[in-house]
Amino acid sequence: MALSFPEEVLEHVFSFITSHTDRNTVSLVCKSWYEIERWCRRRVFIGNCYAVSPGIMIRRFPEVRCVELKGKPHFADFNLVPDGWGGYFYPWVCEMSRAYPWLEEIRLKRMVVSDEGLELVSKAFKNFKVLVLSSCEGFSTDGLAAIAANCRNLRELDLRESEVEDLSGHWLSHFPDSCTSLQSLNMSCLSSEVSFSALQRLIARSPNLKTLRLNRAVPLEKLSTLLHRAPQLVELGTGAYSAEARPDVCSNLAEAFSRCKELKGLSGFWDVVPFYLPAIYSVCSRLTSLNLSYATIQSPDVTKIVTQCPNLQSLSVLDYIEDTGLNALSLSCKDLRELRVFPSDPFVADANVSLTEQGLVAVSEGCYKLQSVLYFCRQMSNSALTTIAKNRPNLNCFRLCILEPRAPDYLTLEPLDNGFGAIVENCKQLQRLSLSGLLTDRVFEYIGKRAKKLEMLSIAFAGDSDLGLHHVLSGCDSLRKLEIRDCPFGDKALLANVSKLETMRSLWMSSCSVSLGACKRLSQKMPRLNVEVIDEQGDLDSRPDSSPVEKLYVYRTVAGPRLDMPSFIRNMAQNPTYMR
């Protein structure tokens, strides 16, 4: 008889292990640990909703309280995934409503959610607390009304960046007077105006409200009224930040802000009128997070704000900040961990602002803790990238978007291979990388050799041949997600690395040189992969094997071929010609 701890003790020990990877590892130790672990697992994360089925999840983990699901591939954000692709929430909520009556939290990303689904959530789970819908779509404000009306203990309703059919603002008025549990509300993606008095009363009766992100329709003149009722706020997203310039309104607002002693994060700032910016100055010194990426204010105004935020850890801005603003940032914000600079006019070839690679170099020099970068710009050089890499070996996320595809080093006109090579060589902990600019197979050689901790790689308009893809697939040991568009990568690299694909979550390739025949062969060799060809031309059955596919999405799965594919998606394992 094996000497072991009683189950209860092991369960108690496991309760301290919260990371998904750790829990997965625990379950692999031995059969009894697997059993104990699966009964006490409370949080499940499914990075690809088609990798597993609701039934499999429920069978293995019967006592779950929190489910997180992700649907569409990342490139769906940029309209590369056709409508009707999938990622439906309804089948999941149907089964969960029967199996998990005590479910408390649902977090979804890039999934299609319907009003029926939301209504089911609101009625099936008596203790439902948290709903986060990130970049989701398919539902309307009617679904939100059901959630508001029926979830008695709702703590969090976060609709970040979802596309909601906005029928009216009336949904907010469905929160009953008895609902006082709200801690977080993010309605920033909605356009309709909600009843201000309903909003005001909701806020007033929610003493634990920490996060409030308003939508654009909430007028600035009324913001101070709301702030007065919620001085305990930690994160605030303003509505439209413009109004007639009136000193009394401004001083009221400033006073209301100054009362919010816990405020650490600000966002919103649509339609900014600079006259009202001083109202936030009193909270700047406490801010750790600032999102000005909708604020179309010029460099002096942006700079004036950021230089007053010495504790800033995360900043999102438009390129209006310019190199001068970024330089000032590098001198003032020594605690900065994350910087995102978005383009104000992405479709214009000529620079409308004076933002170049120099701004990023300055930040890399001055901000010692900088770990995560998302930077849109119009020019880059190998020397700048090398400088950045040497300055900041602690980078873990580096996403550079040079607006013009295949833009070379603007100083030498060479490819940017060496610059990105320096990034992967110096930043040994790099987990996420997005490439842009003119790149040959050489950069992939560097990446394959050096980027051993890389988990996610995004490639566009790069490379010369299959060798590039082969370097990545054969070299990047930690790779989980690979997304590629418009690159000359094809069959050879794919078929030479078939087993690699089962160690990854997913591979996306669009407008590359992969042939239909190669997709079929891949599917034959790897039965536990779903090899899905997306092709809207409608004649897949009659096309020769040598013809290129438009889009390819490959992912590992234990659930077999999808049952909900639209007509323009084919699973190569189900190919009629293959059956012959």
Partner 1 sequence: MDQKKSTLDLFHDLDLATELRLGLPGSNDQPEIIKTSLSGNKRSSSEMGSSTCTDEQESRFSPPTKEQVVGWPPVRSYRKNILQVKKTDSDTGSGMYVKVSMDGAPYLRKLDLKMYKSYEELMKGLQVMFKCIIGLYSEREGYNGSQHVPTYEDKDGDWMLVGDVPWDMFISSCKRLRIMKSCEARGLGDCV
How many angstroms separate the Cα of 2 from the Cα of each of 5, 6, 32, 35, 150? 10, 11, 11, 16, 50
Find the binder of partner 1 among 392, 432, 485, 505 (CB under 8 A). 485
Closest CA to 272 of 314, 247, 238: 238
Tokens of 228: 């007065």
Tokens of 538: 């409608």
Q: What is the DSSP code string of 214-245?
A: --TTS-GGGHHHHHHH-TT-SEEE-SB-----
Q: Collapse the DSSP code of 483 into the 3-class scheme (helix H, G, I; strand E, B; otherwise coil) and give the result.
A: strand
Amino acid at 364: S
Closest CA to 221 of 248, 259, 182, 260: 248
Tell me how far apart the alpha carbons of residues 311 and 309 are, in angstroms, rounded to a whole number. Answer: 5
Tell me how far apart the alpha carbons of residues 455 and 444 are, in angstroms, rounded to a whole number. Answer: 15
Q: In 41-186, where does DSSP find H-type helix?
A: 54-60, 90-99, 115-124, 141-150
Which listed range, 57-65, 390-398, 442-450, 485-493, lies at the site for partner 1 (CB under 8 A)? 485-493
For partner 1, give the closer residue by CB, 24 or 537.
537
Category of 224 on φ-ψ map: left (φ > 0), alpha (ψ -120 to 50) or beta:
alpha
Is residue 193 near partner 1 by the rule CB under 8 A?
Answer: no
Rg of the chain over Cα atoms, rounded to whole angstroms, equals: 25
Is residue 115 near partner 1 by the rule CB under 8 A?
Answer: no
Query: Which residues 155-174 are close enough to bind partner 1 by CB under 8 A?
Result: 161, 163
Find the binder of partner 1 among 80, 94, 149, 351 (CB under 8 A). 80
Q: Cβ 344 to partner 1, closest distance in Å?
A: 6
Site mask for partner 1 (CB under 8 A), range 514-553, x = bound = ----------------------------------x-----
Tell me how far apart the alpha carbons of residues 387 and 406 are, in angstroms, rounded to a whole number. Answer: 21
Is residue 465 near partner 1 by the rule CB under 8 A?
Answer: yes
Q: Cβ 470 to partner 1, closest distance in Å?
A: 15
Which listed range, 241-249, 302-310, 535-543, 563-571, lies at the site for partner 1 (CB under 8 A)? 241-249
Is residue 480 near partner 1 by the rule CB under 8 A?
Answer: no
Is residue 349 near partner 1 by the rule CB under 8 A?
Answer: yes
For partner 1, give the closer residue by CB, 11 or 486.
486
Tokens of 24: 């997965």
Is residue 443 a contact partner of residue 422, using CB atoms and an 8 Å limit?
no
Tokens of 80: 């590369």
Query: Which residues 371-400 are close enough to bind partner 1 by CB under 8 A?
Result: 376
Which listed range, 107-115, 288-296, 474-482, 520-528, lies at the site for partner 1 (CB under 8 A)? 288-296
Q: Collapse the DSSP code of 288 into the 3-class scheme (helix H, G, I; strand E, B; otherwise coil) and give the result.
A: coil
Site mask for partner 1 (CB under 8 A), range 306-345, x = bound = ------------------------------------xxxx
Find the binder of partner 1 among 1, 6, 21, 79 (CB under 8 A). 79
Find the binder of partner 1 among 8, 35, 63, 77 (CB under 8 A). 77
Is residue 407 near partner 1 by the rule CB under 8 A?
Answer: yes
Find the binder of partner 1 among 511, 547, 557, 574 (CB under 8 A). 511
Tokens of 129: 């607390």
Is residue 404 near partner 1 by the rule CB under 8 A?
Answer: yes
Task: Give the number of residues in contact with partner 1, rule: CB under 8 A.
Answer: 49
Burial class (CB in 10 A: 0-12, 13-18, 19+), 282: middle
Is residue 245 near partner 1 by the rule CB under 8 A?
Answer: yes
Which listed range, 100-108, 245-253, 259-267, 298-306, lies at the site for partner 1 (CB under 8 A)? 245-253
Is residue 248 near partner 1 by the rule CB under 8 A?
Answer: no
For partner 1, give the closer residue by CB, 175 or 461.
461
CA dihedral 307, 310, 312, 317 (to 10 degrees): 10
Binding region for partner 1 (CB under 8 A): 75, 77-80, 161, 163, 189, 244-247, 270-271, 273-275, 293-294, 296, 342-347, 349, 376, 401, 403-408, 413, 438, 460-461, 464-465, 485-488, 511-513, 548
